[in-house]
Amino acid sequence: MKFTRRQIIVSGAGLAAGAGLNPLLAQAPLKLTTIPSSGQQVPAIGIGCRNYRGSLNSDDMGVFTDTFATFHRLGGTVIDTSPNYGNSEEIIGHIMAELGIRNQLWVATKVDREDRASGITRMERSFELLGGDNFELMQVHNLRGTAIQLETMAAWKEQGRFRYIGVTTSSEQQYQAMIDVMSRQTLDFIQVDYSLGNRSAAERLLPMALEKGIAVLVNLPFGRGRLFNAVGDRPLPDWAADIEATSWAQVFLKYIMSHPTGAIPIPGTTKPHHAEDNMAAARGRLPDANLRREMENFIDPLLG
């Protein structure tokens, strides 16, 4: 039987009102991550915008806007999108303009073209859709056209159009190629798939990022839902209280945030109560090395 995140929150809702922040935890400071190349600090959890797509006139727009408003109200700023995600950039640009928060958000997007001219056209279109004179982060999407796009991106960074540049993957098959890029290029960020149930990136990629001072965004922090299905309707273990986690999502996110790189998870988030749940993970204690091992020992048998 597969479980949705909502079913798991409801089944565990006796644990502190499901997705909400308890009053004491709400007073705790929001955890920040320091970007090594600049020293800038940003909130330790963001939003992945892959599923922000569809008609600007659809009923979904109201929910999307409420989700962004909730995320922003709770201190979130880091958002990550891509022209690959349907019309996500159009949707996000519209929401930011409607809420008047474009300049308060830390905006990351991507480029996914093989040749220079197409890459430039793609990136200029992102500026049109998302607004603003600059982006915090531009990334080569899934290492497509890496060398040629990084040349343009580095030049635009010098011009102030991007504050940071980086590369992304969501596939272990590309890890060696990413390691090669990290060895040859000057990067501010990598983005990689990593979770409590998918720790392959921690073998070589994340240690290399730590060594070279490269910040880390984490996609697929819930393993495409695999982690929620693994825990099912189980209650949280006693050790969850040690890190002030009141939901499984918070457990999974705190595991990522506690990596020595200060990795920033960017879970796909399209519902306000999920934004509340996720942002709660950015407050309170994080697991230490011993508890991280206990979490791994807990989840591995459940994943089979």
pLDDT digits (tens, 9 = 90+) for 29-53: 999 999 999 999 999 999 999 999 9
User: In which band, very low, low, confident or very high, does the pLDDT at 23 lie, cut at 50, 70 and 90?
Assistant: low
**Mean pLDDT in the chain?**
94
At residue 2, the pLDDT reads: 60
Indicate whether 15 pLDDT > 80: no
What residue type is assigned to position 304 of the chain? G
How many residues would you count in the chain? 304
Written as one string, the DSSP assignment of 3-63 is --HHHHHHHTTTTTTTTSPPHHHHTSPPPEEE-TTT--EEES--EE-TT--S-TTSTHHHH
Buried/exposed 61-85: b ≥16 CB within 10 Å, e otherwise: beebbbbbbbbbebbbbbbbbbbbb
User: Mean per-residue pLDDT for 120-140?
Assistant: 97
pLDDT score at 5:
59
pLDDT at res. 304: 85
pTM score of the predicted model: 0.93
Q: Is residue 162 very low, low, confident or very high in pLDDT (cuts 50, 70, 90)?
A: very high
Task: Write out the H or E segment, with its range, that includes residue 165.
Answer: strand 162-168
* Predicted pLDDT of residue 7: 57
pLDDT band at 12 (very low <50, low <70, confident <90, very high): very low
For the domain 5-11+31-303, what is the CATH superfamily, name and number?
A: NADP-dependent oxidoreductase domain (3.20.20.100)
Residue 281 clears pLDDT 50, i.e. is over it: yes
pLDDT tens-place string over residues 107-118: 999 999 999 999
Q: What's the rounded mean pLDDT across residues 268-282?
A: 98
**12-16, 77-81, 123-127, 247-251: least confident range:** 12-16
Residue ranges covered by each domain of the chain: 5-11+31-303
When pLDDT is averaged across residues 129-151 and rounded to a whole number, the result is: 97
